[in-house]
Structure 1
Amino acid sequence: MTDRDDIRVRKALQGADFPAARNDLVAYATDRGEVDERTLAALADLPEGTYGSVDEVVDAVPHRPGSVADR
C-alpha cells in the first residue's frame, strides 16, 4: 500500500461507524459512490474480521491488493 492508497482508504471510510466488519466497510464505501475500484479492491482484500478504527483498517490493507481485473 502506498501513501496515496492510505489516503484513499481513509477518505472512503470517512464517517464510518466502528467497530465494523470487513463486509460492512466494503458496503459503506460502495454506498458512498465516490470510491474508486482500486480502493474497493483493497478493502475487499482485508482479512476477515472486525476493525476498531480506520487506523486498524489502514494497517490491515494488503500491500498489493488484488486487481479488479483478477476478479
Structure 2
Amino acid sequence: MASINPIELQKALKGADYPASRDDLASLAKNNGAGSDLVERISNAKTERFDGPDDVQKAVFG
C-alpha cells in the first residue's frame, strides 16, 4: 500500500465544501488527481459525513 501524507490529502480535498459526504469527498479527490489508494481510503471510511478536513484526516490516517 502506498504511503499517503497529509499534504497529499489536503491537495486531494481542495475545494471541498463541508459538511460533505464520504462519496462526495472521494469523487472530489479523484477529480483533483489523488491516487487510487487515497480515493479508496476515503471511500472506505467508516464515517459517512465529514464536518471538516480534520475529520477526514482522522478517518484516513486513523
TM-score range normalised by the length of the shorter chain: 0.7 to 0.9
Q: Percent of pairs identical after alignment?
A: 28
How far 1:45 moved relative to its partner? 1.7
Residue 13 (structure 2) aligns with: 13
| Residue identity in the other structure for 1:43 | I
SS of alignment partner, residue 34 of structure 2: coil
Question: Gaps (5+ residues) in structure 2?
Answer: none
| Residue identity in the other structure for 2:48 | G
Tell me: CA distance 1:4–1:61, structure 2 relative to 1, closer, same or farther (3 Å): closer
How far 1:54 moved relative to its partner? 0.7
| Residue identity in the other structure for 1:49 | E
SS of alignment partner, residue 8 of structure 2: helix
Work out whether residues 22 and 49 of structure 2, in 8 Å CA contact, stay in contact via their aligned partners in 1: yes
How far 1:6 moved relative to its partner? 2.1
Residue 55 (structure 2) aligns with: 56
Instruction: Kindly name which structure, 1 or 2, has the bigger radius of gyration based on alpha carbons.
Output: 1
Residue 35 (structure 1) aligns with: 34
Aligned length: 60
Structure 1 moving runs of 4+ over 3 Å: none
Give the TM-score normalised by the residue count of structure 1. Answer: 0.69
